[in-house]
Amino acid sequence: MSTLTRRSARTSWVALRAMVLLTILLGVGYTLAITLIGQLLLPVQANGSLVHDVSGDVVGSTLIGQPFSDAAGDPLPEYFQPRPSAAGDGYDGGASSGSNHGPENEDLIAAIAERRTQVARFNGVAESAVPADAVTASSSGLDPHISPEYAAIQVERIADARRLSVAEVRDLLEAHTTGPEFGYLGSPTVNVLEMNVALDSARG
- Measured CA to CA, the distance from residue 116 to residue 131 in angstroms comes to 9
Q: Which tens digits make up the pLDDT trace of 5-62?
A: 778 888 888 889 999 999 999 889 999 999 988 888 888 888 888 888 878 888 888 8
- Measured CA to CA, the distance from residue 49 to residue 53 in angstroms comes to 13
Residue-level pLDDT at 1: 59
Average pLDDT, the chain: 90
Give the predicted TM-score (pTM) of the model. 0.79
Q: Name the strand (E) or helix (H) holding 50.
A: strand 50-52
Q: Over pLDDT 90: what percentage of the chain? A: 52
DSSP conformational letter for 163: T
Contact of 149 with 171, CB cutoff 8 Å:
no
Q: Residue count of the chain, please give it.
A: 204
Mean pLDDT of 101-126: 93
Sheet holding 177-178, edge to edge: 145-146, 189-191, 177-178
In 3D, which of 116, 185, 178 has the Cα closest to residue 153? 116
The more confident residue out of 87 and 6 is 87
Residue 114 has pLDDT above 70, yes or no: yes
Which CA distances in Å does 139 have to 35, 92, 100, 103, 190? 30, 13, 8, 13, 18
Q: Over pLDDT 70: what percentage of the chain? A: 99
